[in-house]
């Protein structure tokens, strides 16, 4: 496993197009967003060079968990969106995605962080630039210090994404360009790996299939966080030979039929599947065929629309799942 690519800072630029604001549609604000992202990718390319394949001996086994040190993962109830908050055994914090808007940050994400007695985020992972995954992140950056941001650098021209990139730039946050087959520096007690996406997927127009996929191991317990990765990205990750086995799977794309293929489930072999989904959402998520497939594989399913925020706590040997409310 090679280290994640060198941290770089998004350069600060003078104000441009002050009299114009892009729309939320995919054609608005292309100039501003592309300039910001081109700067990001140019700096990353110059800093990182060409990655080399990981050595089979490069990955060390995770440190044996110390007694009393826990990894806590909150799959937050942000409706039809995604936000996962993590506290490592050493007390570091990570947020993977940020829900739909500022209210998710104010009402769900930040209160959960504060309940831990934490006043900062060490790592913010932006799996992909869709509204229901990034809507609250600008607000989080506004209100708490963030150590570094992990993102793909994919071009996506919406006002929400532009605001987020500007917030990263204006707060001078270090950023890591995420690609598969790299490791992510978070907590030495954990093995945290980025399994996807590839360059080819990021260069496409498909935001879901360019999601950052993170695998996190503590002792004998592993989590797999998939963003909105669909069967296309699942297939690429499996083709590349990544180890995807995990006891706890964040089911891709809110339980859509476009994700969670039989081959993927066979390889992951999860015991628990977490679906982040909104009640009575217009997409019909989670789709019945995905629920049927999870059942066939013996996966115990938890859903935020029915059970609220779902908490998984592990000491590295075993894990416990608790829910905000009983299944309705």
Q: State the Cα–Cα distance between residues 254 and 17, nearest whole angstrom.
A: 36
Which of 39, 61, 43 has the alpha carbon at shortest distance from 5? 43
CB 27 within 8 A of CB 201: no
Whole-number pLDDT of residue 31: 56
Distance CA 129, CA 246 (A): 25
Please identify every stretch of the chain with a pLDDT value under 50, giving residue numbers as ranges: 1-28, 38, 40-61
Mean pLDDT taken over the chain: 85
Strand pairing class (213-218; 174-177): unpaired
Distances (CA, A) of 116 to 87, 119, 144, 207, 210: 8, 9, 14, 32, 32
pLDDT of residue 69: 92
Over the Cα atoms of the chain, what is R_g?
19
For residue 327, the model assigns a pLDDT of: 75
Which pLDDT belongs to residue 46? 33
- Give me the architecture of the 2-6+30-39+69-319 domain, per CATH: 4-Layer Sandwich (3.60)
| pLDDT on residue 160 | 96
Name the DSSP letter for residue 204: S
Contacts of 211 (CB under 8 A, 6+ apart): 127, 128, 152, 196, 197, 226, 227, 228, 229, 233, 252
pLDDT at 64: 57
């Amino acid at each position: 496993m090679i280290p994640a690519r060198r941290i770089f800072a998004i350069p600060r630029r003078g104000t441009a197009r002050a009299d114009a604001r892009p729309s939320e549609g995919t054609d608005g604000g292309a100039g501003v967003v592309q300039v910001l992202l081109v700067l990001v990718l140019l700096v990353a390319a110059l800093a990182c060079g060409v990655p080399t394949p990981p050595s089979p001996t490069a990955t060390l086994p995770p440190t044996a968990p110390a007694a009393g040190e826990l990894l806590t993962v909150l799959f937050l109830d942000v409706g039809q969106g995604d936000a996962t908050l993590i506290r490592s055994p050493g007390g570091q914090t990570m947020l993977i995605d940020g829900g739909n808007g500022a209210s998710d940050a104010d009402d769900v994400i930040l209160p959960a962080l504060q309940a831990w007695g934490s006043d900062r985020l060490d790592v913010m992972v932006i799996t992909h630039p869709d509204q229901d995954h990034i809507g609250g992140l600008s607000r989080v950056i506004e209100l708490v210090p963030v150590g570094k941001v992990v993102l793909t650098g994919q071009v996506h021209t919406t006002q929400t994404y532009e605001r987020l990139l500007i917030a990263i730039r204006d707060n001078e946050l270090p950023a890591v360009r995420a690609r598969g087959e790299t490791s992510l520096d978070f907590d030495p007690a954990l093995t945290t790996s980025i399994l996807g996406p590839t360059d080819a997927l990021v260069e496409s127009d498909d935001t879901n299939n360019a999601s950052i996929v993170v695998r996190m191991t503590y002792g004998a317990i592993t989590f797999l966080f998939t963003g909105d990765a669909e069967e296309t990205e699942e297939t690429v990750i499996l083709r590349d030979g990544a180890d995807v086995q995990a006891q706890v799977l964040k089911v891709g794309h809110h339980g859509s039929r476009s994700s969670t293929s039989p081959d993927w489930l066979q390889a992951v072999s999860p015991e628990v599947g977490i679906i982040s989904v909104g009640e009575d959402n217009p997409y019909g998520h989670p789709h019945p065929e995905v629920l049927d497939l999870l059942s066939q594989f013996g996966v115990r399913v938890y859903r935020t629309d029915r059970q609220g925020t779902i908490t998984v706590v592990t000491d590295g040997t075993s894990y416990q799942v608790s829910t905000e409310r009983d299944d309705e």
